Amino acid sequence: MDRAVTVSGVGTGGAGGRSVGTRSVGACAILLVLCAGTGVCATGEPTTLRVFDANAIHFLPANPDTFAAADVRSEDNGRVIARDVELVPLGDMIRITARLRIEPIPKDETSVHDPWDRAGNVRVAIPGMADVEIVKFVTSYGGVTEHEVDVSHLVPLLEGPVTFKGFIDTWLSPAWKMSFELAFESVGVPEHPGESNENPVWGTGLVYEQNVTEELMRDGPLEAEVEVPEGVGRVLMHYLVSGHCTDGRDDDEFVSKDNVISVDGTVVYRFRPWRDDCREFRAVNPYTRRWSDGRWSSDYSRSGWCPGDWVPPVVLDLTDHLTPGKHVVRFSVENVRPRDESDHLGYWRVSSHLVGWEE
């Protein structure tokens, strides 16, 4: 690491040389509250935006819209559900809580259609920038999981026309159901000195790439150009990452690799994502199986994730590196396991976004 940065979060948690869009919150922003349909109106009361309500996610190329709802469409052969929403700007000192429920579709009284652990996310697609992951997760082995995450830092990105997308990397039909909502609440001025409830005033998506392979890395790092607006005095990067393999062995799922982040040619962070607490989630993995060594599949440590849990972001304070003006940010994963003679390989799922506060 060439220069120290402040890091929070845990180690668990593309664009190709193009400019990315940005969003800022105006001084006269108003508090978001639901009105009829998918619109919003202004009031001071807490409110909840129900985005997905037990909507089905599956894989069926011949008929991906089998389970589509009136206002929720299917994409990627049914593996993505999408909903368009128009949001008004939010006020300052707003807490946003994301609530996510993933449940398998039963096959009969004793089994489900998809008993495997599957990578997934809920993200927001905004014109002019890379998709921004709101909650990144891996399903359990055929069990129900629920996650509640504070995503207040996304205030400057949740306004105007946006598309919410829910994704599960399943290859079966039927497979899973997803429910997702955002709860908005005004939190006011904190009681204790030194604390702050101020939300960021600016944000942008940098990269979103679900298939970082050795072949992709041959062409160089994922790259994004970004311009930090004047008046932004503090910038945090959220980096969400998980390592996988196609055959369930070794690299890059059970053997982690260096993830490297650089700004304007200077390496600002290098680390190996890893989770060694996966045994704690055995209770939500009803279809986990024992391997040849006697251990349960869901218990194994992995490259930044556990079956049945969400993937927290790594949060980097890059204020010293991302000053107002134009910058180039690059992301790479070193020594990804290449494709072998059996067509198996290692790969990574990577996304990143920036948020900034006023000076």
Distance from C-alpha of 163 to C-alpha of 131, rounded to nearest angstrom: 10
- Asked if residues 96 and 154 have their Cβ atoms less than 8 Å apart, the reply is yes
Instruction: Look at the alpha carbons of 274, 243, 150, 203 in this order and tell me if their dihedral is positive or negative.
Output: positive
- Coil, strand or helix at 150: strand
pLDDT by residue (tens digit) across 203-226? 999 999 999 999 999 999 999 999
Distance from C-alpha of 167 to C-alpha of 162, rounded to nearest angstrom: 16
pLDDT by residue (tens digit) across 4-60? 344 554 333 333 333 346 665 543 333 333 443 434 443 456 799 999 999 999 999
Cβ burial 179-193 (10 Å sphere, 16+ → b, else e): bbebebbeeeeeeee
- Asked if residues 227 and 326 have their Cβ atoms less than 8 Å apart, the reply is yes
- Asked if residues 202 and 229 have their Cβ atoms less than 8 Å apart, the reply is yes
Neighbours of 201 (CB within 10 A): 21
With CA atoms as reference, report the closest residue to 350 among 115, 129, 130: 130
Question: What does the pLDDT read at residue 22?
Answer: 67
Distance from C-alpha of 98 to C-alpha of 158, rounded to nearest angstrom: 12
Question: What does the pLDDT read at residue 88?
Answer: 84
Burial class (CB in 10 A: 0-12, 13-18, 19+), 214: middle
Quickly state the pLDDT bin for 248 (edges 50, 70, 90): confident
pLDDT by residue (tens digit) across 85-115? 999 877 778 999 999 999 999 999 999 999 9
Is domain 6-358 annotated with CATH 2.60.120.230?
yes
H helices of 188-267, in order, are 214-218
Mean pLDDT of all residues belonging to the chain: 88
For residue 29, the one-letter residue type is A
Burial class (CB in 10 A: 0-12, 13-18, 19+), 222: buried
Burial class (CB in 10 A: 0-12, 13-18, 19+), 246: middle
- Residue extents of the structural domains in the chain: 6-358
Q: What angle do CA 313, 315, 320 make, to 5 degrees?
A: 155
H helices of the chain, in order, are 214-218
Among 46-50, 52-56, 74-78, 242-246, the minimum mean pLDDT is found in 46-50
